[in-house]
Structure 1
Amino acid sequence: MSTEDRNRRARSVSTATRWSGAVLTMGLVISGCATIPTSGPVHQVEPPVATATETTAESTVAGPEDGMSQEEIVRGFLAAGAGQENDYGVARQFLTPDLASTWRPDARTVVFSGAAGIQQGLEDDQVRVSVDARALIGDTGIMQRQEAGSSEAMDVELTQVDGQWRISDVPDGVLIPASNLNELYRPHNLYFLAPDGETVVPDPRWFPDRPGVSTSLVRALLAGPAPYLESAVTSAYPADAELEGASVPVQDGTATVSLNVPNYSALDVATNREMYSQLTLTLLALDNVDRVDFLAGGGQIDLGSSNQEMLSTDPQEVPGRQIGLDGDQLVFQQGGQSSPVPEVSQALVGSDPSDPAMNRDTNEFAALTQNQSELVTFSTFQPEPAERFTGTRLTAPSVDTDGWVWSGDQSGQIRAVEIAQPDADPVTVDADWLDGRTVTSLKISRDGTRALLVVADGDSSQILISGVRRDSDGTPESLNEPYVVDSGQGAAMMGDARWISESQFVAATITDRSAAPRLYDVSGRYRDLPFLEGGVEGISGGNGDSEIFVVTDGQLRMLTGESWSLQSESVESTAFAG
C-alpha cells in the first residue's frame, strides 16, 4: 500500500544496570544509515519498507558450533542480534537455557560503528565488550544519538553446558551495527495531543521491523510522550492504562486493541474519541493494518455520532505567499511575482532590515534591524515598528499560533514577545541547557508545541527539537531538554532550519560555497536536495516539499524536481507564516 493511501486512511479515522558508558543528551547522527531512500519522485520521502521476512541479515545469522572459544561465542551472540526471527531465536542459542528464557532483547539497543572490541575480563569466565556508540534506543523506542567518541561497555559471563561454552550472564538488549540499522529497525510516529485539543503531534520512535511491532507501539503510546515533549503535549490515556492480554493481534488487516482503562466511562465520548484518534493514527501507518478495533470497559468504546470528525494528521497549512524584502521594502512573494505589503511596505526603510516574519493572518509582523541586533514588531493596525529587544546575532523571528514572536541569540538566550502588546517587556524562555551555546536558528512548529533549533557548539552544530512549555494563558515559559535530530558530522555546518509540516523540515548550511540543503523528518532521517553551486544565503519552507525555497547568489529559487527554478532576482530574506 502506498504512503498516500496510508495517509488518506489515517486521516479517515530500564536501561540495564550492567551497561556502562557515556549516556549524553547530545548525539551524533548515524552516518551511512540515516538517509531516507530516494526511490520514486524526488520530493517523495518514503519510510523504509523492508520487513523482517525480507531482511537479508536473517539468512546470514548462524548459531553456535561445537568447540567454539569464549570469544567466538560472544562474537556469534553479538552477530545474532541482527537475527530477529523467532524472537531472536538464534541469539538465544548462545545463552544457557536459564538465561535464554529470561533475556530481553528489546529492552535496549546500542547502535555502534566499527568493530566491537572484546577483551578477557578479570575472571577466566568473563569477557568485556566495548563499542563506539552512535545511538541508544530504549524499550519504548526513544532514540538518543550520541556524541562522537561515546563508548559503551558490557561484561559477559560464560559457563560450560555439556562441554560447550555458553553465556550465563549478559545485560538485556542487543548491539546493532550502524550500517544495519535501516534494515532492522524502522521509525514510527506515536501521536499525542496539542493543548488546543484539535491537533495531534508526532513523537518518533524506533522499533525492530518484525512481527509484533503493533504491541510495541501501543505499549509506548500508553507510556506517554518522550521526555522532550513532557508538558508540551498531553495524552487522553490515564497514566495507569494498560493492555489486557500480552499483545495487539493483527489479523486480516484488523488490529484488535483491548485496554484496561481505569475509571473508563462509556459516556465520556470526547475522551473516547481522543483515545481512539491517538491509537488509530499510530497504528494505521503500519503496512499490515487497515482497521483498528478498540475495546475498553468490556466492549467497543462509544465514539458518539458517526458524522463527528476525528482528530487527524492533516497538515496545518500556512498561506501560500511569503513575506520578503526587495531592498528595504516589504513585499509579498508568490508564483514568481511580488507586490508591496499593504500599509507596512515602507515600515523598515532605512533600518538595515532582515528576516521579516508574519502570522498566518498576514497582518502582524516582526523583523530584525540594525544588522540583526534588534527585533521589532508592527502590524497593519500599528504600522510603526516598535523595538522589543536587542541582542547579538539574533535569529530570524518565528511567529507562533498565539501571536508570540521568538528569537534566540549568540549567548543561548531565548526571548519572546507578544505582537499585540507592543509596550510589554519580553519574556525570557528558560532553557538552561543552551547556556554558552550559539543559537543560529529557532522556529516554532505550526502546532505551537515544539521548537526546532540549530545550535552551534565549537566547530559543529546540532539540529534539535524541544517541547514548548507554556502557562495557562499560552505565555511561553521554558524549553525542555531536547531531542537530538542530527549532530556532529551530519550537521557540522548547518545554520538554518524551517518547518514544512508537523513532521518534516528543511535545513541548510549558510555558505557562499557549493552546498546541498537537506530534507528531514522528525525521526532524523534525511536526504540531500540538489546542490547549489552559489551556496545558500537563506531558506524558507511552506506547505510540504513542493514549497522549498532558497536564496543563492542573490536570487530566490524554488525546488522543482532535480533543479532550482528562478523566482526573483531582487526579493530576498523570504519566509512563510510562522
Structure 2
Amino acid sequence: MGADREGGVRRRPGRAVAYAACGVVLLAGCASMPDSGDLRDVESTPRQDTGVRVFAMPPADDAQPGEIMQGFLEALTSDDPQYDTARKYLTADAARVWQPEQSATVLANGPSIVTDDHQPAGREPTDSLTFVLTGNKVATVDGQQAYAPADGSYRNKVHLTKDAKSGQWRIDSLPQGVVMAKSDFQRNYTSVNKYYFASTTTVRATGQPIAVADPVFVRGKVDPMTQVVRSLLSGPTSWLGPVVRSSFPTGTALQKDVPGLTPDDQNRLTVPLNSKAARVGAAKCTEMATQLLFTLRNLTPTLESVELQGPGGHRLCDLTEERAESAAWHASAQRPEYLYFLDGKHRLVRLPTGSAGTSAVPVPGPLGEGQRELQSVAVSRDEHTVAGVGADGRGLYVTSLATGGSPGDAVVTSHGATATDRLTTPSWDARGDLWVADRDPRHPKLYVLDQGFGKPVEVTIPDLAGRIQDVRVAADGVRVALVVEKDDKQSLLLGRIERGDRSGARPAVVELRSSAPDLEQVTAMSWAGDSRLVVVGLEQGGVHQMRYVQVDGSTLDGPAPAALSGVKAIAASEDERVPLVAYSEDGIVRLPSGAQWQKVDKDGTAPVYPG
C-alpha cells in the first residue's frame, strides 16, 4: 500500500468490460438476472491494466429491475468522481439524499441479490419491488476514510419503483454509502498515511515535534492527491485524534475554486488555502507544510516541495523535502546506525546496518563486556542507552552505551515462576521512555519508565482481556503494539497511549483494536514502517508465516518476506533501506532487498534495531 514501503499503491482487479478505448473502460450493467428466486452474486472481477480508469454505463431504456440492480452495483465500483452514473439508477429524490462517501462496506465476495421474502412469490413486478443485498462482511471504511476489520452478515434492502410517466424502473430507497466485493475495494481504494504531530510528546534531545501516521483509504484513480489533502485538512481520524494535533487552524480548507491539485514539472505543488490560514506565523506555516509534504510524499514519492498560498495567491510559505526532515521527526526517515543482538556468550554485540559483513563486535559498556548475561535487549532511538532483561527474565537493567560503568540494580523485577512468565523484551519510543511488560500470571502489568531511568509507572489498560506476551511501542510514543494471549490464542492488538501528563493521571492504553484479525497465533512482531508491522503468526488451520500487516487491520498488497522456518524473533526498522533480521533455527539471519535470507551468526539470539 501507499502507506508503507512493500505495500505500494493498491492495483487490483477491474470489472469485466463492454468497451475500452484510450485507457477508459466502460462497465455494462446488463447482466440478466431473475426478479425473484435464487441468490445471485455480483461477480468479483478480472485484473485490468493498472493505468485503466473504469467508468460505468448508465441504465438502458426499459431496463428491468434486476438489470437496474446489477448496473447500480457495477457503477459503485467505477472511477466516476461524484458517482454521477450511479445516481442515474436512482430517482431524483433518492439521488439527492444518497451519500456514497458516508461509508464503504467490503464483502468477501460480490453482494448477493434476492427479492424480499415478504413479497408474494411467482408474481411479476408491477410498479414496486424490493431487493435484499446480502454477504459476509470483511471490513468497513467510515466517513473519515478510516478502515476497520469487520465480520458477520451484511443485509440491506433496496427498493425500486416504476415511474408512471416514463415507465422506467429506478431505485427510490437504499442504504447510505457504497458496498462492494473485496477484490473491487482493493482495485478502487489506496491506503495513504496522513501525518499529524503527537500532542504531548517531542523528541527529548531536540524538542522536535514527532510526526504520527494516520492511515486512510482514498479512491486511487479519482484525483487521490486532492482527496488526501482534503482529508488531512479535515483533521485526524477519531481513533487517533485524542493524542495528536494538527498545525492547520480549525476550518482550514482548500479554496472553493480549486478543481484539483497537480505538481508542476519541477515536482513542486502549490496548495491554495482559504482565509482561515491567512494569518499563521512562519513557524506554524512550516509545520503545516511539513504535514503536507510527509503526507503527499508517501502517495507521490517524486514530490520535492510544497508552497502554501492564501486568498489572492498570497504566498504563506514553502518547504523542501530536506527542510521538512529537520522541521519534524518521523521514524521512517531515521536510519539506524547498528543492528544489535546477543552473541553465544549472551553479550550485546552490534553490526553496522550498511555492512554486508558478519563480524559483530561487543558494544561499549558493561553489557558488551559480559558483566551480566542477557535474555533480551532494547537500544534507545538515539543509540546512547541500552535496556536488557537478565538471562532468567527476572530483572530489567538500564545502562549507557559507553565504556565503563556497571549495569547497576534492576529497575523492574518480576516474580513470575518461570522465564516465560517474567519480563518481555523492552521497547523505547522517540521521547526516550522505556516500556516493558511483566507476564507474571498473578500480577500482570505494563510499565513505562521516564527516560529509562525513572521510577516504573504502571500503565492502565481498561480494555485488556488476556495477558500481554510482547510489547512494541511505536516510535511516535502514542501507539503501542501488543501480543495478547487469551484462551490459548495470541492476538496482535494496537492501542492508543494517553499519558495523562497534565492531569497527573497514570498513563493508559485505550481502544485496543486488532491489526491481524485472521491470525490466531502471533509469535513474533516488530514495527516495520510508520503504520506497518511485520509479524510471524499462524492462521486458523494454516501454517506459520511471516508477513506485513497494517495497523488498521487492512490487507497489504505486495510480496511477503521470503519464507523462513523456525522463526523465534524478528527485527525490522521503520527505515525501508534496512534489511529485515530474524532469529531462527539457523541463528541470526538477515534479508537484504532483492536477496534471500543470509546467515549472520549461528550462535546469536534476540536481534533488535533501535526502538
Looking at structure 2, the residues matched to 349 and 289 of structure 1 have their Cα atoms a distance apart, in angstroms, of 50
Unpaired runs of at least 5, structure 2: 15-22, 26-47, 120-127, 203-207
Looking at structure 2, the residues matched to 180 and 307 of structure 1 have their Cα atoms a distance apart, in angstroms, of 34
Q: Identity of counterpart residues, as a percentage?
A: 22
Give the C-alpha shift of residue 270 in structure 1: 0.6
> SS state of the match for residue 168, structure 1?
strand
* Residue 111 (structure 1) aligned with residue 73 (structure 2): no
1:222 is aligned to 233
1:553 is aligned to 585
One-letter code of the match for 1:269? Answer: A
Looking at structure 1, the residues matched to 158 and 366 of structure 2 have their Cα atoms a distance apart, in angstroms, of 69
1:332 is aligned to 350
Pick from 178, 183, 200 the counterpart of residue 182 of structure 2. 178
Q: Deviations over 1:213-268 (max 9, x none)?
A: 333222221221223322332110133323331655235747553333547425x1
Cα pair 2:248 2:277 within 8 Å, conserved: no
2:604 is aligned to 571
* Residue 279 (structure 1) aligned with residue 292 (structure 2): yes
Q: Deviations over 1:112-163 (max 9, x none)?
A: 11342434065764333222111111232111111xx423332222211222
One-letter code of the match for 1:359? Answer: S
Looking at structure 1, the residues matched to 319 and 71 of structure 2 have their Cα atoms a distance apart, in angstroms, of 57
Pick from 198, 201, 210 the counterpart of residue 212 of structure 2. 201
1:386 is aligned to 410
Unpaired runs of at least 5, structure 1: 1-33, 38-42
Cα pair 2:2 2:8 within 8 Å, conserved: no
C-alpha change, 1:207 and 1:59, in structure 2 (3 Å) is closer
C-alpha change, 1:240 and 1:483, in structure 2 (3 Å) is farther
Looking at structure 2, the residues matched to 496 and 455 of structure 1 have their Cα atoms a distance apart, in angstroms, of 12
Cα pair 2:365 2:406 within 8 Å, conserved: no
C-alpha change, 1:545 and 1:536, in structure 2 (3 Å) is farther
C-alpha change, 1:231 and 1:139, in structure 2 (3 Å) is closer
1:154 is aligned to 156
Cα pair 1:515 1:531 within 8 Å, conserved: no
> SS state of the match for residue 492, structure 1?
strand
Give the C-alpha shift of residue 437 in structure 1: 2.3
Deviates more, 1:126-135 or 1:181-190: 126-135
2:132 is aligned to 128
Alignment length (residue pairs): 529
C-alpha change, 1:277 and 1:54, in structure 2 (3 Å) is farther
Give the C-alpha shift of residue 400 in structure 1: 2.2
2:246 is aligned to 235
Give the C-alpha shift of residue 348 in structure 1: 7.4
C-alpha change, 1:368 and 1:476, in structure 2 (3 Å) is farther
* Residue 48 (structure 1) aligned with residue 80 (structure 2): no
TM-score normalised by structure 1 residue count:
0.79
1:432 is aligned to 462
> SS state of the match for residue 486, structure 1?
coil
Looking at structure 2, the residues matched to 65 and 459 of structure 1 have their Cα atoms a distance apart, in angstroms, of 56
Looking at structure 2, the residues matched to 541 and 58 of structure 1 have their Cα atoms a distance apart, in angstroms, of 36
1:143 is aligned to 147
Looking at structure 2, the residues matched to 549 and 349 of structure 1 have their Cα atoms a distance apart, in angstroms, of 26
Cα pair 1:283 1:292 within 8 Å, conserved: no
Pick from 88, 91, 97 the counterpart of residue 93 of structure 1. 88
1:541 is aligned to 572
Give the C-alpha shift of residue 184 in structure 1: 0.8
Cα pair 2:104 2:177 within 8 Å, conserved: yes
> SS state of the match for residue 468, structure 2?
strand
One-letter code of the match for 1:64? Answer: P
Pick from 543, 560, 579 the counterpart of residue 528 of structure 1. 560
2:123 is aligned to none
Give the C-alpha shift of residue 565 in structure 1: 0.6
Deviates more, 1:537-546 or 1:170-179: 537-546
C-alpha change, 1:251 and 1:504, in structure 2 (3 Å) is closer
Looking at structure 1, the residues matched to 576 and 85 of structure 2 have their Cα atoms a distance apart, in angstroms, of 43
One-letter code of the match for 2:434? Answer: V
1:260 is aligned to 274
Higher CA-based Rg: 2
Higher relative contact order (CA 8 A, sep 6+): 1
> SS state of the match for residue 338, structure 2?
coil
Cα pair 1:329 1:348 within 8 Å, conserved: yes
